[in-house]
Amino acid sequence: MERLRDVSLVLLLLTGQLLGEWGRTADEYIRLPFWRDTRICSDGNGGCWATGMDGAIRPGIYTLGVCHIDRNGNPTWGEEVIMPLPGRGCWRPRPVLDDNGDVILAMNVEVDPDSADDFAHVYLQRISLDRELVWDEEGIALDTFSGDQGIMGVYNGPTEDTYLIHWVRGSWNQYPPRLQLINGDGEFLWGIGGIGLDWPHRNSHFVISGDQCFIVAQNVSPTPSIAIVKIDSDGEVVWDSRLTTLWEDVAQRNLNGAESDREGGVILVYEYERRVTIDDIERRYRGVNAVRISSDGDSLWTRQLYERYKIEREDYGTIRPIINYAGAGRFFVAWADWHRDWVQTFQVVALNVDGEFFWDEPVSVKLSRSSYFRLNAIDSDFAVCYVWRDGDDRENGPRIQQWGQRISLDGERMWGDHGRAIQARNVSTSFLTSDGNGGVITLADPDVSPTLQMINRNGEIGVVLPVSVGDDIDNRKSSIQNPQLNIYPNPGNSYFRIEFDTVIPNEMFRYHIYNLMGKSIKTGTMIGVPYLVEDLSRFSSGEYILQLQSQRTTASTRFLLIK
């Protein structure tokens, strides 16, 4: 009877009959119990983990707190906040979801609260939804020496049940970046110091591609360059490269983003300023370039994405491009050209792996005024969702709002021209994560009274959508007949053949396999093929749900795994 109740609850969640508590207007939101350094990550099931600064140990030294918000916008543990390292000063937490549904945290820690010199060790902790501290109360120390360090991010590793930590060591104006690989038991796999660069760098980025990973960084001395180090899963440096020819013709440059090219290499985007002298008059231009580096470290192509003439004295802004992989072989690059007192638009282009454009011209999104601070984005089921801040001038001063826009693979603005307001109040910078169903969960004011809001894939604020069959990703698109989806053998004990009868050239399908608790345990993509074979031998016996989804259609079926 209990199993039937559990299955009924899961089906109720999957068919979207439960509505959440996220609020239904731009002025409604969830207030988090933190006061600064707040970050979020998806929980893989429509909710999110949140970390931030909480209670003070002594003036100026605070502990790290962790809470969980479920897919309906409700705190899982009520008002309770977990302290993953009790009695220690923590800051700059970076969470990531692992394959078991736990959250992995990396944080800077003041090891000895009574010592003003012993700062900036990096500690890790793993927390389950049952509020268990998996790696004991003490957590795991990444390093044993003191000195300035900073965490850039924590990620799922290149092999199963491993986690990568990206951090910088040394003084903050040098930024020599490092990587460390840790397994599920908390053991260091690449030595205590990790692997990385030994020269002063800044703007370091981390990219993972299959069972290999990259550190990409901007060198500051002695010769301006981009440094790239490729590392395999055993911790061996495959190659390292310093690219200087990319920037020889520009006077100022700034590495902004990096993304795996899905073929063992990386695609970089950077902002530049070049100077041209015409009739003894020097002219300055700002622009955005993309460059692809092959799996062997060679520069394959460079594309100019944008350039404009820089107006002296009235132009202090930056462009700040970002890159995201949207699926179906499309890489989206977006930028907002921030002038001194105004911003007109931010623009988005789509490239393939060969540097060819998918759209005739960039997609432009109108902005109102100069309150733009930072453009954030996340890939979201064959689209990319962007979040930024913007506002309108009013008699009593500007009203700053957080806005969002979803851009589809074919370059359509899916939430209106300007976008849809997510939170109608003054906001500082914002962060976002996936809601697990094509939309986003946003974090506003991460350093001052942080709050959450959800905007679903249809652009509705706070409305929880179902995740099962019959729910169109975009209601305005014409639908096609749902494919017949089959899986056999059913029951089976290891390998399953998944077939469907609707094959559309170049149409990309994403598939998810859910357990009966509604958690996605495996995902993948398929393009223009009628079947695929999946090995599920590492999963436990039980009933599972297979869902197939494209931009225009969905289908699902159940199957049984018996060991």
pLDDT category at 469 given cuts 50, 70, 90 is: very low
Mean pLDDT of all residues in 395-412: 77
pLDDT of residue 174: 61
Does residue 395 register a pLDDT over 80?
Answer: no
Is 175 inside any structural domain?
Answer: no
User: How many domains does the chain fold into?
Assistant: 1
The pLDDT tens digits of the residues spanning 517-544 come to 667 778 777 766 677 778 787 788 888 8
Is 560 a domain residue? Answer: yes
Backbone angles phi, psi at 133, to 5 degrees: -85, 100
If one counts every other C-beta atom within 10 angstroms of the C-beta of residue 54, the result is 19
Identify the weakest region by mean pLDDT among 95-104, 405-414, 422-431. 422-431
In a domain, 198, yes or no: no
| Residue 486 included in any domain | yes
Mean pLDDT on 144-149: 57
For 199-216, write each residue's pLDDT tens digit: 767 778 889 877 789 888
Indicate whether 510 belongs to any domain: yes
> What's the rounded mean pLDDT across residues 79-101?
79
Helix (H) or strand (E) holding 108: strand 103-110
Q: How far apart are CA 225 and CA 241, in angstroms?
A: 10
Q: Which H or E run includes 14?
A: helix 2-14
The pLDDT tens digits of the residues spanning 278-299 come to: 888 888 888 899 999 998 888 8
pLDDT, residue 193, reads 79
**DSSP strand pairing (345-351 vs 363-366):** antiparallel
Dihedral sign, Cα of residue 98, residue 103, residue 105, residue 111: negative
Instruction: Give residue 525's pLDDT.
Output: 74
Q: Is the pLDDT of residue 336 over 90?
A: no
How far is the CA of 450 from the CAs of 2, 427, 430, in angstroms?
Answer: 38, 9, 9
Is 502 domain-assigned?
Answer: yes
Say whether pLDDT at 82 is over 70.
yes
Does residue 324 register a pLDDT over 90? yes
User: Which of 81-95, 249-263, 328-342, 452-466 has the largest mean confidence?
Assistant: 452-466
In contact, 514 and 545? CB cutoff 8 Å: yes
pLDDT score of 45: 81
pLDDT of 444 above 90: no
Domain with 495 in it:
1-17+466-563
d(CA 368, CA 345): 8
What pLDDT, on a 0 to 100 scale, did the predictor assign at position 502?
58
Average pLDDT, the chain: 77
- In tens, the pLDDT along 45-67 reads 889 999 988 776 666 677 888 99
34 neighbors 452 (Cβ within 8 angstroms): no
Nearest to 66 by CA among 99, 29, 94: 94
Q: What pLDDT, on the 0 to 100 scale, is given for residue 501?
A: 64
Is 318 domain-assigned?
no
Secondary structure (DSSP) of 276-341: EEETTEEEEEEEEEEEEE-TTS-EEEEEEEEEEEPPSSS-------EEEEEETTEEEEEEE---SS
Mean pLDDT of 414-442: 79
CATH assignment at residue 471: 2.60.40.1930
pLDDT at res. 192: 76
The pLDDT value recorded for residue 301 is 94
Q: With bands split at pLDDT 50, 70 and 90, how would you rate the model's confidence at 363?
A: very high
Q: Can you tell me the distance from the alpha carbon of 146 to that of 169, in angstroms, rounded to the nearest whole number?
A: 10
Query: pLDDT above 70 covers what percent of the chain?
Result: 75
